[in-house]
Chains A and B, each alone.
Chain A
Amino acid sequence: MTSASLQRNPSLDDWIEIGADGSVTLRTGKAELGQGLKGAIARIGADGLDVSLDRIRVETADTARGPDEGLTAGSRSMPDSGMAMRQAAAAARAHLLALAAVELGCDVGELSVLDGTVSGGGRSVSYWDLLGGRRFEVEVDPGVEPKQPAALALLGRPGPRIDMLGLVTGTTAFVQDLDQAGTLHARVVRPPGPRSELQSADLDAVRALPGVLAAVADGSFLGVVAEREEQAMRARELLAARARWRVEECLPDDVHRWLLEQEPQSFLLVDGIPVADPCEPTEPPDGAAATVSATYTRPLIMHAAIGPSAALAQWTADGAGLTVFSHSQGVSPLRDSLAQVLAVAPENVRVAHVVGPGCYGHNGADDAALDAALLARAVPGRPVLLKWTREEEHAWEPYGPAMVIEARASVAADGTLLDWSSDVWSTPHTARPIPHPGTSRLLAAGHLADPLPRNMPTPTLTRVGGIHRNADPLYSIARRRVVKRFVEGLALRTSSLRALGAFANVFAIESLIDELATEAGLDPLQLRLRNLADARARAVLETVAERGGWARRPRDQAGRGSGLAFARYKNSDCYAAVLVEASVDDATSQIVLERAVIAADAGQIIDPVGLVNQLEGGFVQAASWTLKERVTFDAARVTSVDWESYPILRFSEVPPIETALLDRPGEPYLGAGEATQGPTAAAIANAVHAAIGLRLRELPFTPDRIQDAALR
């Protein structure tokens, strides 16, 4: 099997290096986002090569070396890089064994390997003797068969990530920590709102402050560079206080009404693929036992990384070359985008990934990289560490889009789903900084005196898009009509946030299934099972129901109830079912999550602890979106700019979670980082309905939404 990553990077030396010192360096073109990439790649490589984990070093995305694997997104780290490393390690082992066979004068079949030492015919030779410090000089052989699951020592067994000790001892250097001797500090002053223009700035006053080396005003892009961090912060404050802006009112007061008022580009999904056919409405079928129509919404949601975006940039003294350290999800598209805005050749720009605060999609990392490069240009030869403020992060990151889903479904008396119709409105979920002539998607590019205007995304018309991700139910339904409605023109940037459209689409589908079950007097679990042909889908549902005590759940709507929901992410990746038991506090109308159960099938398990962390982390984050999160704004600017105006879930609100993993040895790795997002929201909505009989269709489920539903 040849993965796309291997086709793009066929040289074995891109992936694996046998060190002269007894080490093995594995290179991936993906980035460590907190998802545990390094640990997983290390396990795959160590198992495949037969070397111990403590010999392994993992280097992540860097335009200067290693494979180019594009973006680290879409839960593709394991399907792309994991599968590629599996093949590369198998090919490397076979290559080394062939060398050893010559060295030892025996057949490959007679050889055995223990921690990189090959034995045969009574003698032995190590990988490091055979190839240490030299290159393979071959392409990855796609014909070598990777090991059978039973022969793997590490995969599927629990054990800490190789980067865990650094994290728990505070010795891991994040981008924000790259302030070594001689590093200068930079800050930016952003406009008040998305369509504000700089009228005047007092650069002279800022330049007179102690330690300030540069104050930059380029169009509406304003920033400072200083010797010391606190000097940069003080200079930023003065620069902001004295700047005068023209502020344009450009934001709608109700983003969902705005979505429905725009002229969308509409596409009917045919076999999961958007096709520009007519999207005529349909009528519900005759003979249905129940038909339910409902509208579901999600607001704009933030990534809200726990640390604000940052980047370290350094130009060569002659100003010709640039190096940037960034927590971007895509070092090569970022390099090309930076080169475009800065008008330098891409080969003169190096972008290397350094870990940052948790990344859940296209956040401010790329924009911070351009900010750093623009400000570092004023002090060539010096490294400049640029950091965003909390307010900047909250107000300027690209958000996960607001969405509206109008859906209608019909079921027969025996529980057979007869008909499905849904329309999904959203602004783009994919607006990453990929260069296009004359335009840019990097934030500051649009603020420069000679601006590159924002590049407007176009609808994705492949099976795996953003708006229509999981819009098509996995259930067998005799007739279906699913329409993607792509809307453009919101003044706020929207782009990829964990699970993209799947979060709201699964919320809508799995809520509507529950509503249909209520209406037709069917058990919601049985309704799902009856219409699911895929045995792996059925298995996660049956497991979650069994572990969660579904058959014994309270059914009296007396304040406590259970809800469940299911999805197969992208209809092609990880299967996940979530069961939530919730209660609603009478006095405060707060939803209390009493406990949660997850069942998931992510193919062959690489690291069960890492898998649980991704699934449960996805649940907690999605529960936070579901219960609390909504970007707020007035006519001109974002108003949710800190953790009080944009609260997230806290320890006291996180329920006990039990997770069941269904291992599938020999099956391909299915990324799990986004699998629980959608089912979580619907499971909570369904649990609230079971608890108090109120149906919540507008995210987030804040107490005022409960009170509104009670009054309906």
Chain B
Amino acid sequence: MAAAEDTPLLLVLRNELGLRAAKHGCGLEQCRVCTVLVDGEPVPSCVAPAASFEGREIVTLEGLGTPADPHPLQRAFYEESAAQCGYCIPGMILAAKALLDANPSPSDDEIRAALDEHLCRCGTHPRILAAIRRAAAELAR
């Protein structure tokens, strides 16, 4: 790769690998729109250098599903129309994935706690909560 060693993971994902689902929001690890899964845990990617993730498994939203074959969480977000501008949604879905992997039937308070660091400016929170509840119910079947 052409990126220097201290290049943040987010830029390597987006510019080297063409994986642009993870977004730049603040560069301060405050908003979580850059969230990716690192060994299954939701982690902001906008500050930490890519080199610091050596040997770890990184999953971006592209790794969950595609428009032709969406992941159950993506399908639930689609069914619930859980997006307005959609900029924060990749991070939301990955955080929800980590939550449901650890806790397949979370309470509303547990969902809210898991997403509390994730900012959404459009106010789509009610639909995002509904989508995660729907995904949990469908995955439990």
Interface residues on B, range: 35 or more
> Which B65-109 residues sit within 8 Å CB-CB of chain A?
65-67, 70, 74, 77-79, 81-90, 93
Residue of B nearest to A655 (CB): B126
CB atoms of A651 and B118 under 8 A apart:
yes
- How far apart are the CA atoms of A179 and B16 in the complex, in Å? 11
Residues of A within 8 A of B116 (CB): 650-652
CB atoms of A617 and B11 under 8 A apart:
no
Contact of A34 among B31, B74, B78, B86 (CB under 8 A): B86
Q: Judge whether B125 is part of the interface by a CB distance below 8 angstroms.
A: yes
CB atoms of B11 and A230 under 8 A apart:
yes
Residues of A within 8 A of B61 (CB): 169-170
Residue of A nearest to B73 (CB): A168
Q: Judge whether A549 is part of the interface by a CB distance below 8 angstroms.
A: no
CB atoms of A648 and B119 under 8 A apart:
yes
CB atoms of B28 and A390 under 8 A apart:
yes
Report 19 cross-chain contacts, Cβ distance below 8 Å, ordered by A residue.
A34-B85, A169-B70, A228-B2, A306-B119, A307-B23, A357-B23, A390-B26, A390-B30, A614-B84, A617-B122, A617-B124, A621-B122, A642-B26, A642-B30, A643-B28, A648-B121, A651-B129, A652-B113, A657-B126
Contact of A161 among B23, B74, B81, B89 (CB under 8 A): B81
Q: Judge whether A229 is part of the interface by a CB distance below 8 angstroms.
A: yes
CB atoms of B81 and A307 under 8 A apart:
no
Q: Judge whether A149 is part of the interface by a CB distance below 8 angstroms.
A: no
Q: Judge whether B15 is part of the interface by a CB distance below 8 angstroms.
A: yes
What is the minimal beta-carbon distance from B73 to any residue of chain A, in angstroms?
8
Residues of A within 8 A of B136 (CB): none
Residue of B nearest to A623 (CB): B123
Contact of A164 among B11, B14, B83, B119 (CB under 8 A): B83
Q: Judge whether B3 is part of the interface by a CB distance below 8 angstroms.
A: yes
> Which B1-38 residues sit within 8 Å CB-CB of chain A?
2-4, 7-8, 11, 14-15, 20-28, 30-31, 33
Judged by DSSP, the binding face of B is loop
Contact of A33 among B60, B81, B85 (CB under 8 A): B85
- How far apart are the CA atoms of A167 and B70 in the complex, in Å? 12
* Interface hub of A169, A228, A356, A642 (most chain B Cβ within 10 A): A169
Contact of A168 among B4, B93, B111 (CB under 8 A): B93
Chain A: how many interface residues by the 8 Å CB criterion? Answer: 60
Contact of B121 among A171, A173, A304, A619 (CB under 8 A): A304
CB atoms of B88 and A306 under 8 A apart:
yes
Contact of A160 among B7, B30, B67, B81 (CB under 8 A): B81
CB atoms of A307 and B33 under 8 A apart:
yes
Residues of A within 8 A of B14 (CB): 177, 179
Q: Judge whether A36 is part of the interface by a CB distance below 8 angstroms.
A: yes
Q: Judge whether B138 is part of the interface by a CB distance below 8 angstroms.
A: no
CB atoms of B119 and A650 under 8 A apart:
yes
Residues of A within 8 A of B89 (CB): 167-168, 170
Contact of B15 among A229, A624, A651 (CB under 8 A): A229
CB atoms of A643 and B85 under 8 A apart:
no
CB atoms of B25 and A160 under 8 A apart:
no
CB atoms of B23 and A358 under 8 A apart:
no
Contact of A621 among B28, B88, B123, B129 (CB under 8 A): B123
- Nearest 4 CB-CB pairs, A to B? A170-B21, A620-B123, A34-B85, A167-B86
CB atoms of A651 and B27 under 8 A apart:
no
Q: Judge whether B62 is part of the interface by a CB distance below 8 angstroms.
A: yes
Residues of B within 8 A of A649 (CB): 123
Residues of B within 8 A of A650 (CB): 116-117, 119
What is the minimal beta-carbon distance from A650 to any residue of chain B, in angstroms?
5
Residues of B within 8 A of A562 (CB): none
* Interface hub of B22, B93, B118, B124 (most chain A Cβ within 10 A): B124
Q: Judge whether A616 is part of the interface by a CB distance below 8 angstroms.
A: yes
CB atoms of B119 and A170 under 8 A apart:
no
Residues of B within 8 A of A164 (CB): 77-78, 81, 83
Residues of B within 8 A of A639 (CB): none
- Given known contacts A307-B23, A359-B85, is B31 in contact with A643 (CB within 8 Å)? yes
Residue of B nearest to A161 (CB): B81
